Amino acid sequence: MHILLINPNSTASMTEQALASALRVKQPGTRVTATNPTDTPASIEGGADEAMAVPGMLSQIRKGEAEGVDAYVIACFDDPGLHAAREVARGPVIGICQAAVQVAMTISRRFSVITTLPRSIPIIEDLVVSYGANHHCRNVRAIDLPVLALEEDPLQAERLLANEIERAKKEDRAEAIVLGCAGMSVLCDRLSAATGVPVIDGVTAAVKFAEALVGAGYATSKANAYDFPRIKGPHGRQPISAEV
């Protein structure tokens, strides 16, 4: 099977890091490739960045459809444009937030999410509710570090994350931690070993979900909500079929 990992921002080094995380856990028979648009924000930090990133992401999915891609992973923790992507794709489309939350609910009774900037907290809180995990998620925390700083100063990022995980263990009584940014994926194993709790990376979780769904023969439903977008004619009108 072929899984396409799409980083919706335009920072190629983040795409390469996410791909490395995916390749580490994929099955031998799975092909994973990665791409990112070149005309989107360098990082996604808020609703405006999300909105600007979605058209380029959908364009990458359309290319993937023409190439026979079996499933897609959206490597941004805000899960931008996830429903729109599922309308465009035949195969499963997995958002890394939804995948990570599902894993957290499976392996723990309560968990906390740790993200980059405080402005991302409301977005993630809303996603947790929409995924039915609000009774399991005890807190969404932020280390107050911009996304791009994860690459600029990884040692500082790791220190801040480790400190916040310890706080979540004590204050939230969290039994598992979800890392709320694809750029944190490289730190997952070290943080888990250092803190003694499962630390969940959405990229690897999403890749494993995609493998499972494709392997079981599941595709995106095209009944009603996730049906392919309707083709519009000039001025937004539906084209009229000529009778023969």
Question: Which of the 8 DSSP states describes residue 43?
Answer: S
> What is the model's pLDDT at position 243?
44
Instruction: Report which secondary-structure segment, H or E, holds 161.
Output: helix 154-167
97-202 has the same fold as 2-95+204-223: yes
Name the nearest CA neighbour of 89 among 99, 98, 81: 81
Q: Where are the chain's structural domains?
A: 2-95+204-223, 97-202
192: number of Cβ within 10 Å:
17
In CATH, the architecture of 97-202 is 3-Layer(aba) Sandwich (3.40)
Amino acid, single-letter form, for residue 150: L
> Is the whole model's pTM more than 0.85, yes or no?
yes
In this predicted model, what pLDDT tens digit does every residue of 21-61 receive, in sequence order? 999 999 999 999 999 999 999 999 999 999 999 999 999 99
Tens-place pLDDT, residues 218-241: 999 999 999 999 988 776 666 544
> Would you identify the CATH topology of the domain 2-95+204-223?
Rossmann fold (3.40.50)
CA torsion 161→167→171→175, rounded to 10°?
Answer: 60
| Ramachandran category for residue 203: left, alpha or beta (phi over 0 → left; psi -120 to 50 → alpha) | alpha
**What are the helix (H) ranges across 175-220?**
188-195, 202-215
- Model pLDDT, residue 244: 36
For residue 141, the cross-strand partners are 114
